[in-house]
C-alpha cells in the first residue's frame, strides 16, 4: 500500500468517530506527505462532495492558501521548532473556530522539537482546549521524544518517487513482482550483494532505485501489519520473520532512501544495503 492510501484511511476513521487526537506519521517524503495530508483534511471538512482540486468552497481554497484559521502548520524555525511557535499555536486555537468543528495542527519535522518546545507541546497534547487534532510528521521517528511518541497513534506513509504521476496498474504489478524476486534472493537464496544488485539495478536511474526500495519498504510494512493483525497474507518467504526483524529491515530501508538523496555512489550504497540486510538475518532477533 502506498503512502496516499495509508493517509486516506483517516477520512474513514473520522466519519466513524474513531480518529485519534494525535498521530505521528513516519514518512520518506515530508513534502509529499504534507500534500496528501492536506487533501485528507479537505476531504474531511469540505462542505461539498470533495473532489481533487475542489474549487466550489471557500474552505478548500483557504487550505490551498494555507490561510484557514483552524489549520496551523508548524515547521522548524532555524535548527529547531521553538517554544514560542507552540505557544502561538495554543493562542491561535484559543480563539473561536468559525470554519471547522475541530482545530487541526501539523508539525513538520517533529524530531526538531527541542526540550522547551516539546514540554510545551506535551502539555497541549495532554490538555487540549476544545476539539483538536494533531499530526506530527517525521522521517526520523526514533529521534522524536518518547513522551510525544507515546501520546500519538503511529502511521507509516511512504511514497514511491513518482507516486504523484499516473503509474499504471500493470507497471505497479510488474515493479511489485520484481521487488519480491529481489527480496527473495536476499532472504532465501542468500545472494551476495554485488551479484544481486547487478542483476536488478543495472542501468536504473536514482529515481527508479528509490521507487524500487520504496516498494520493498511497503512489502515489509504489509508483512508487519499482517503479523500484528494475525492474518496470513504474507509472501511465504517472509512468513518466518519476527516482528523485530521486519522492523529493523524497514528502518534500514528508510535510512538508505534518505542517503540516496545525497550525492553518494548508488552502487556502493546498494551493496551496503544488502550486506546490512544479511547482517540483520544473522542476528538473533
Residue-range domains of the chain with CATH: 3-157 (3.40.50.300), 169-282 (1.20.272)
**What pLDDT sits at residue 4?**
74
Q: Which residues touch 264 (CB under 8 Å, ≥6 apart)?
A: none
Edge-to-edge strand order for the sheet containing 153-157? 71-74, 103-107, 132-138, 22-27, 153-157
* DSSP state, residue 238: G
- Are 151 and 126 spatial neighbours (Cβ–Cβ below 8 Å)? yes
Q: Which residues touch 11 (CB under 8 Å, ≥6 apart)?
A: 40, 43, 44
Q: Reduced to 3 states, what is the DSSP secondary structure of residue 201?
A: helix
φ, ψ of residue 168 to 5 degrees: the values are -75, 160
Give the residues of the chain that fall short of pLDDT 70: 1-3, 47, 50-57, 96-99, 128-130, 161-172, 191-196, 198, 203, 231-234, 284-285
**What pLDDT sits at residue 107?**
95
Can you read off the three cell numbers belonging to residue 17? 468517530
**CA nearest 222: which of 206, 207, 241?**
241
Can you read off the three cell numbers belonging to residue 62? 483557504
**What pLDDT sits at residue 193?**
58
Chain-centre distance for alpha carbon 156: 4
- Are 132 and 93 spatial neighbours (Cβ–Cβ below 8 Å)? yes
- Are 90 and 124 spatial neighbours (Cβ–Cβ below 8 Å)? yes
**What pLDDT sits at residue 166?**
45
Chain-centre distance for alpha carbon 133: 17
**What pLDDT sits at residue 56?**
61
Task: Give the chain's end-to-end CA distance (angstroms, integer).
Answer: 26
Q: What are the CA-CA distances from residue 128 to residues 20, 90, 124, 177, 284 (Å)?
A: 13, 9, 5, 46, 43
Element of type H or E holding 152: none
Report d(CA 246, CA 224) in Å as an integer. Answer: 7
H-only helix segments in the chain: 3-15, 30-45, 58-64, 83-93, 115-126, 146-149, 169-184, 193-201, 206-229, 243-260, 266-282
**What pLDDT sits at residue 165?**
45
Neighbours of 19 (CB within 10 A): 16
**What pLDDT sits at residue 232?**
64
Report d(CA 222, CA 17) in Å as an integer. Answer: 25
Q: Where are the beta strands (DSSP E) in the chain?
A: 22-27, 71-74, 103-107, 132-138, 153-157
**What pLDDT sits at residue 101?**
80
Report d(CA 72, CA 14) in Å as an integer. Answer: 19
**CA nearest 27: which of 126, 100, 120, 135?**
135
Amino acid at each position: 500500500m502506498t503512502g496516499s492510501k495509508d493517509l486516506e484511511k483517516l477520512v474513514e476513521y473520522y466519519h466513524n468517530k474513531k480518529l485519534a487526537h494525535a498521530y505521528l506519521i513516519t514518512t520518506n517524503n515530508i513534502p509529499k506527505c504534507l500534500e496528501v495530508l492536506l487533501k485528507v483534511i479537505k476531504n474531511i471538512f469540505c462542505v461539498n462532495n470533495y473532489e481533487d482540486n475542489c474549487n466550489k468552497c471557500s474552505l478548500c481554497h483557504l487550505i490551498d492558501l494555507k490561510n484557514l484559521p483552524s489549520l496551523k502548520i508548524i515547521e522548524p524555525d532555524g535548527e529547531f521548532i521553538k517554544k514560542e511557535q507552540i505557544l502561538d499555536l495554543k493562542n491561535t486555537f484559543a480563539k473561536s473556530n468559525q470554519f471547522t468543528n475541530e482545530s487541526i495542527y501539523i508539525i513538520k519535522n517533529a524530531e526538531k522539537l527541542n526540550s522547551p518546545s516539546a514540554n510545551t507541546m506535551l502539555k497541549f497534547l495532554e490538555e487540549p482546549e476544545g476539539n483538536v487534532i494533531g499530526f506530527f510528521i517525521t522521517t526520523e521517528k526514533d529521534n522524536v521524544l518518547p513522551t510525544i511518541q507515546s501520546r500519538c497513534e503511529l502511521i507509516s506513509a511512504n511514497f514511491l518517487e513518482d507516486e504523484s504521476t499516473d503509474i499504471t496498474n500493470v507497471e505497479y504489478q510488474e515493479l511489485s513482482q520484481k521487488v519480491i524476486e529481489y527480496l527473495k534472493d536476499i532472504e532465501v537464496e542468500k545472494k551476495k550483494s554485488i551479484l544481486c544488485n547487478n542483476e536488478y539495478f543495472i542501468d536504473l536511474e536514482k529515481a527508479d532505485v528509490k521507487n524500487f526500495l520504496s516498494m520493498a519498504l511497503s512489502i515489509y510494512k504489509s508483512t508487519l501489519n499482517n503479523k500484528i493483525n494475525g492474518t496470513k497474507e504474507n509472501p511465504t518467504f517472509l512468513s518466518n520473520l519476527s516482528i523485530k526483524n521486519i522492523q529493523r529491515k524497514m528502518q534500514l530501508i528508510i535510512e538508505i532512501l534518505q542517503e540516496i538523496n545525497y550525492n553518494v555512489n548508488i552502487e556502493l550504497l546498494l551493496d551496503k544495503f544488502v550486506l546490512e540486510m544479511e547482517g540483520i538475518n544473522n542476528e538473533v532477533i
